[in-house]
Amino acid sequence: MSIHVGCIMDGNGRWAERRGEPRTAGHTEGEENLARLVRVAVKRDIGWLTVFGFSTENWVRPRSEVRHIVGLHKKLFGRVAELNELNVRVQWIGRPFDSKSARTPALVQRAIRKAIADTRRNTGMLLTVAFDYGAKAELVDAVNHLRAEGRSITPDHISESLYLPELPPVDVLVRTSGEGRLSNFLLWQSTGSPVYFTDKTWPEFDEAELDAALALVPAHGTAPTR
Ligand code: IPE
Ligand code: IPE
Ligand code: MG
């Protein structure tokens, strides 16, 4: 099934706070849940799963929280054996490492490069992790790239100049944790996609939740009952 699902993985902090645990425990569980969800997405034969791991806005969070989240991305991109077993190819989307504003730490850059190289032969689902990603930065970079090449600014040219031009339009966008915002995620790629808003936090986002989101994709599944 060539469906592209995008997930704004929100609510890790609230999940932990509700259990009287530190916010970092929520991020740890959020990463575990992503690993679980990848398995479910493969089982559902989803073509592309793109997840928002860390935004260009998230760097202002407390240093210790940022450090913890950075470490979790190293762990996530290190799950190569699991991903190979599932035939999943990994990609990354974010501010290019060599751009002036980029902030991806070297240890995450290495993990990203290794994960991409070590899963490149897989032919199943493409898992794209957004880290140091912001849609505004992506669009500004695309326009600047076109201007530098003396090309006109058209929708087609912008689409070709995005960070991952091969990423298809999003078929359904998920936002967890009761928020009704897109928070600068894949704005160009999801202009026409339905959005599944759920009160569940990201660590609680499970198979039934994914199915409810998939039901919003036109001509896929049954529309949810009102
Ligand atoms: C999402 O969970 C993870 C990131 C943004 C990195 P949050 O950390 O935003 O959790 P809440 O929204 O504070 O509950
Ligand atoms: C969106 O969550 C970013 C990620 C999931 C990485 P945030 O928690 O950062 O979004 P806002 O601040 O509520 O818009
Ligand atoms: Mg949040």
- Give the number of the ligand closest to the Cα of residue 55: 2
Q: Given this model, what pLDDT does residue 61 score?
A: 98
| 13 conformational bin, left if phi > 0, alpha if psi -120 to 50, beta if neither | alpha
Percentage of the residues of the chain whose pLDDT score is greater than 90: 96
pLDDT tens for 66-113 read 999 999 999 999 999 999 999 999 999 999 999 999 999 999 999 999
pLDDT tens for 102-156 read 999 999 999 999 999 999 999 999 999 999 999 999 999 999 999 999 999 999 9
Q: What DSSP letter does each residue of 29-59 carry, written as one string?
A: HHHHHHHHHHHHHHHTT-SEEEEEEEETTGG
Q: Given this model, what pLDDT does residue 66 score?
A: 98
Q: How far is C-alpha 213 from the geometric centre of its chain's CA atoms?
A: 15
Residue 58 near ligand 1, beta carbon < 6 Å: yes
Residue 13 near ligand 1, beta carbon < 6 Å: yes
pLDDT tens for 153-171 read 999 999 999 999 999 999 9
The residue whose CA is least distant from atom 10 of ligand 2 is: 183
Residue 12 near ligand 1, beta carbon < 6 Å: yes
Number of other CB atoms surrounding residue 209 within 10 Å: 18
Q: Is the confidence at residue 225, as pLDDT, over 90?
A: no
Q: Given this model, what pLDDT does residue 226 score?
A: 42
Q: Who contacts 84 (Cβ-Cβ below 8 Å, separation ≥6)?
A: 118, 119, 122
Strand 48-55 with 4-8, pairing: parallel
Q: Is the confidence at residue 2, as pLDDT, over 60?
A: yes
Please tell me the distance from the alpha carbon of residue 73 to that of residue 111, in angstroms, as a whole number: 8
Q: Is the confidence at residue 221, as pLDDT, over 60?
A: no
Residue 55 near ligand 2, beta carbon < 6 Å: yes
Q: Given this model, what pLDDT does residue 49 score?
A: 98
- State in Å: Cα 151 to ligand 2 middle: 34
Strand order across the beta sheet in which 172-175 lies: 89-93, 126-133, 48-55, 4-8, 172-175, 195-197
What is the mean predicted confidence (pLDDT) over 43-47?
98
Confidence of residue 219 (pLDDT cuts 50, 70, 90): confident
Q: Given this model, what pLDDT does residue 223 score?
A: 53
Q: Which atom of ligand 2 is nearest to the CA of 179?
A: 13
